[in-house]
Amino acid sequence: MKAMSNFFVRLMNRFLPDPFIFCTVLTIVVFIFAIPAAGANPLQLIDAWGGGVWALLAFSMQMALVVVTGTAFAQAPPIKKFLQKLAASAKTPVQGVMLVAVVGAIATFVNWGFGLVVGALLGREVAKAVKGVDYRLVIAAGYSVFVIWHAGISGSIPLQLNTANQIISEAEAAASNGVLVAGTIKNTGNAVTELIPTGQTIFAPWNLITILVVVVALTILLGKMHPAPEDTFVVDPALLEDKEREYPAPKTPAEKIENSPVLSIIIGIMGLVYLVHYFAGKGINGLNLDVVNFIFLILGILLHKTPIRYVHAVIDAASGAAGVMLQFPFYAGIQALMVFKGGSTGSSLAAVISNFFVSISNHVTFPIFTFLAAGIVNFFVPSGGGQWTVQGPIMMPAGLELGVKPAITAMSIAWGDAWTNLVQPFWALPALGVAGLTARDIMGYCAVSLIISGIIIAIAFIIVGVTGLSAI
């Protein structure tokens, strides 16, 4: 296993460019292939690309805030002490790596936003607390278990299938000129007429077993990948320590306000009251990305005690969001190229890929081929919601026609969407921003995780197809 991981680490270090270069190369590749797929001329695609660059602005801001508010929250003295105590429970480098994987997996299953940040933050503390641990691997461990996010309780596809506001209204159907049918679920190609409860998707026994097997296998795998001492990438713990600011006694009225905990307490109480009321009405399914950021924000303000201390924590954390702000607009442009269907074929590159896998499927192989198709499309449309918009209208009717349960088709897309995130820098950027690493530092280890998790997930969908669990 070490030989395999060392091979991929060397390969990625040698050939994987900076994530910004990676996304610009992807832009060019998708542009070239979209011309024949959509039957479009270059100017049409350039217009689509330029118009789509800003389509993820709101999401980009959300992800930037995940980095900033999550990091600032972790720098609060009580949280730092908790993470340090947790990290100190690992006595060896291997234990440290496995600890990060397990904690990261639990956090990711609850909410993917938590998982991205928690794994990186705990990895930093393990690198400071455990002598001889490989810093690249421990951060890769926190990110590798992100592969389960779309099968967890914050998975966007299964949640949308169980949300009433996703049912197409009479007005929406009328406005679509017959394209949409009232009473069906959005992005299902009019194939799903009833909400699908999470007991058939997230909490289906086969899905929970798959998650468990993937997490256990990756935890053991990552532990066994730890390099020999002579090959270990060890970071001086002092380099991971945040600079302690000095706060002299306030003298002016402005300084006294800045250093008073009163404002923080008032805002904190307001925020906590809102969260209690919010979750009382919506339950755990209400834990979306906005709420995750709000939790980090309010708790960060409270735990830093004074407004000025929190301001400084946010300033220190902001540099980690640079990659998100630079690269996410380019991925929005790539997504626009993938879904463009204004050319002579009336199709899109994403549709061509999806339809190919549909054409070679039967009711037994459809789940695994849908998973593979989603994994490929995810390279170019890394947003889970964006991928559902692209593939749902194609794969859901096709699955229904082949006699495959809509819940199985949907989870096949969800797992494929999450799987190739392991070698797609898009989702790694927040974790890398927290850790202060580059994509090539962790992608070698993540490539091994991709292979092993892909085998496990593929076997799960083969079993689902062969045993008839996928049959309507």
pLDDT in tens, 383-411: 777 788 889 989 999 999 999 999 999 99
What pTM, to 2 d.p., does this model score? 0.83
Token couple for 296: 């980090």
pLDDT band at 100 (very low <50, low <70, confident <90, very high): very high
d(CA 286, CA 158): 13
Angstrom distances, CA of residue 179 to CA of 91, 115, 176:
60, 38, 5
192-221 confidence digits (pLDDT tens): 999 999 899 999 999 999 999 999 999 999
pLDDT, tens digit (0-9, with 9 covering 90-100), for 150-192? 999 888 898 889 888 889 999 888 888 777 889 999 889 889 9
Q: Which of 329, 311, 240, 272 is nearest to 68 (CA)?
A: 311
Q: Where are the domains of the chain?
A: 2-161+196-466
Distances (CA, A) of 247 to 74, 244, 252: 20, 10, 13
Report the pLDDT value the prediction gives residue 3, as an integer from 0 to 100: 76
Q: What CA–CA distance (Å, rounded) separates 146 from 426? A: 13
344-364 residue pLDDT tens: 999 999 889 989 999 999 989
- pLDDT class of 62 with cuts at 50, 70, 90: confident
Each residue's pLDDT tens digit, 274-321: 999 999 988 866 767 688 789 989 999 999 999 999 999 999 888 878
- Answer yes or no: are the C-beta atoms of 159 and 285 closer than 8 Å: yes
Residue whose token pair is 């330029």:
50
User: Of residues 74 and 218, which shows the higher confidence score?
Assistant: 218
Neighbours of 277 (CB within 10 A): 10
Please report the pLDDT score of residue 63 as a whole number. 77
Beta carbons of 73 and 90 less than 8 angstroms apart: no
Which residue, 445, 354, 370, is CA-closest to 414? 370
Q: Give alpha helix (H) positions in 178-288.
A: 205-224, 237-240, 253-258, 261-282
pLDDT at 285: 64
